[in-house]
């Protein structure tokens, strides 16, 4: 349904004040189909706007997905399969699952955004990823309007990516996502260091999924700025993954570089560390900058334009490339 709005400020957590002249909302699949038939050019699909940077006014049609509903579609003794509308708020869904004592998404508590966007970048936090609980999703092809169900194996989930961010980028509108959650014998995922440390500190030896969620929320609230107060999109860049050989050479020069072995041949480096080493932690430049507690979070200190934030991000990229010969890749989706 076409809606008369002009500014997109309240539709993106960076709080960028750009204009839109064709803004629509869809509350069901029929409304998505209707929109796609009416608007032939490539649209911009919008969820909660928590992983988007608008550089300029948006001249293409925008479709905000507002499909609601949480339905249990199958269950057995150990698991439930639950189908969730793409427009449900992610954290509301996490809270729903915890209230019913369904396990699997507690480590992903408090991640902003909507359920339909969660598979796009395979959201992840505190040692868990969406792919661990993803069963399938329904999506409508923008080109031929055919509805397809993608099962997990078809989604090519990798670190902060999926087929929807790569080969099928801007090709499908996700309408529903089905998850498989545990009903009993929950697998408690408490290996992530800050979480483990806090559990030890609190003397919690056998945590419940509710304990995990509570502590994840506590860590996140202390570490990350609330977008309602300071505009941001969480991590601006992905943590780079480099070869063992490249890491070995880097380590000769920078022997305090943190690193996590992720496969036989590859190592993940925290982007925040690289950015901090380049002197960007807490740096303020005009109306933008990085957060004082987290170098990976670029912030809008009030009234920054998308272009200003983008330029600042590119300066960070250039510095990291120059010092470490590592090219950072944006996690945030940038729209011209």
Which stretch in 2-10, 48-56, 191-199, 319-327 sits in contact with ligand FAD by CB under 6 A?
48-56
Q: Residue 112 CB, nearest distance to ligand FAD (Å)?
A: 4
User: What order of strands is seen across the sheet that includes strand 62-65?
Assistant: 2-3, 23-26, 62-65, 44-46
Residue 45 engages ligand FAD in binding (rule: CB under 6 A): yes
Quick one: 327 or 334, whose CB is closer to ligand FAD?
334
Contact indicator for 305, 313 with CB cutoff of 8 Å: no
Residue 43 engages ligand FAD in binding (rule: CB under 6 A): no
Residue 53 engages ligand FAD in binding (rule: CB under 6 A): no
Name the residue with tokens 């609980």. 133
CA 204 to chain centre: 29
Active site residue 285: no
Distances in Å between the alpha carbon of 75 and those of 80, 88, 95?
4, 21, 19
Active site residue 160: yes
Residue 209 engages ligand FAD in binding (rule: CB under 6 A): no
Quick one: 111 or 267, whose CB is closer to ligand FAD?
111
Residue 82 engages ligand FAD in binding (rule: CB under 6 A): no
Which residue in 160, 162, 176, 305 is the catalytic one? 160
Q: Residue 89 CB, nearest distance to ligand FAD (Å)?
A: 8
Q: Residue 240 CB, nearest distance to ligand FAD (Å)?
A: 16
Interface mask (CB under 6 A) for ligand FAD, residues 101-140, using x and -? ----------xxxx-xxx-xx-xxx---------------
Active site residue 202: no
In the list 16, 20, 58, 86, the residue contacting ligand FAD (rule: CB under 6 A) is: 86
In the list 13, 91, 162, 290, the residue contacting ligand FAD (rule: CB under 6 A) is: 13
DSSP 26: E
Write the secondary structure of 177-244 as one string of H (helix), E (strand) and C (coil).
Answer: EEEEEECCCCCCCCCCHHHHHHHHHHCCCCCCHHHHHHHHHHHHHHHCCCCCCCEEEEECECCCEEEH
In the list 16, 17, 23, 50, the residue contacting ligand FAD (rule: CB under 6 A) is: 50
Quick one: 65 or 328, whose CB is closer to ligand FAD?
65
In the list 227, 240, 289, 306, the residue contacting ligand FAD (rule: CB under 6 A) is: 227
Distances in Å between the alpha carbon of 94 and those of 19, 24, 33, 52, 165?
32, 27, 29, 22, 23
Contact indicator for 277, 291 with CB cutoff of 8 Å: no
Residue 46 engages ligand FAD in binding (rule: CB under 6 A): yes
Say whether 82 sits in a helix, a strand or coil. strand
CA 302 to chain centre: 23
Residue 189 engages ligand FAD in binding (rule: CB under 6 A): no
Q: Could you give the residue ranges of the DSSP H alpha helices within the chain?
A: 29-38, 90-99, 193-202, 209-223, 244-253, 271-277, 306-324
Residue 24 engages ligand FAD in binding (rule: CB under 6 A): no
Binding site for ligand FAD (CB under 6 A): 13, 45-52, 65, 86, 111-114, 116-118, 120-121, 123-125, 173-174, 224, 227, 232-234, 333
């Amino acid at each position: 349904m076409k809606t008369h709005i002009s500014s997109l400020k309240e539709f993106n957590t960076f709080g960028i004040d750009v204009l839109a002249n064709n803004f629509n909302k869809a509350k069901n699949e029929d409304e998505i189909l209707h929109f796609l038939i009416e608007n032939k050019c490539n649209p911009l699909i919008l969820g909660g706007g928590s992983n988007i940077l608008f550089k300029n006014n948006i001249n293409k049609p925008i479709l905000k997905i507002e499909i609601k509903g949480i339905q249990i579609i199958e269950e057995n003794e150990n698991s439930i399969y639950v189908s969730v509308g793409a427009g449900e708020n992610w954290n509301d869904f996490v809270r729903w699952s915890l209230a019913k004592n369904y396990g699997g998404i507690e480590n992903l508590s408090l991640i902003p955004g909507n359920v339909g966007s969660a598979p796009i970048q395979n959201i992840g936090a505190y040692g868990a990823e969406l792919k661990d609980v993803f069963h399938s999703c329904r999506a409508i092809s923008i080109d031929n309007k055919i509805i397809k169900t993608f099962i997990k194996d078809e989604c090519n989930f990798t670190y902060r990516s999926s087929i929807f961010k790569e080969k099928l980028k801007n090709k499908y509108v996700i309408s529903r996502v089905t998850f498989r959650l545990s009903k009993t014998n929950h697998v408690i995922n408490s290996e992530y260091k800050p979480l483990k440390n806090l559990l030890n500190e609190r003397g919690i030896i056998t945590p419940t999924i509710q304990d995990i969620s509570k502590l994840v929320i506590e860590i996140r609230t202390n570490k990350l700025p609330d977008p309602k107060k300071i505009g941001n999109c969480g991590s601006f860049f992905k943590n780079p993954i480099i070869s063992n050989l490249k890491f070995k050479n880097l380590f000769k020069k920078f022997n305090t570089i943190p690193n996590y072995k992720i496969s036989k041949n590859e190592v993940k480096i925290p982007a925040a560390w690289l950015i901090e080493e380049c002197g960007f932690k807490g740096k303020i430049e005009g109306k933008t900058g990085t957060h004082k507690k987290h170098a990976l979070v670029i912030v809008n200190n009030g009234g920054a334009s998308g272009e200003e934030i983008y330029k600042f991000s590119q300066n960070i990229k250039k510095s990291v490339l120059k010092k470490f010969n590592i090219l950072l890749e944006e996690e945030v989706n940038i729209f011209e």
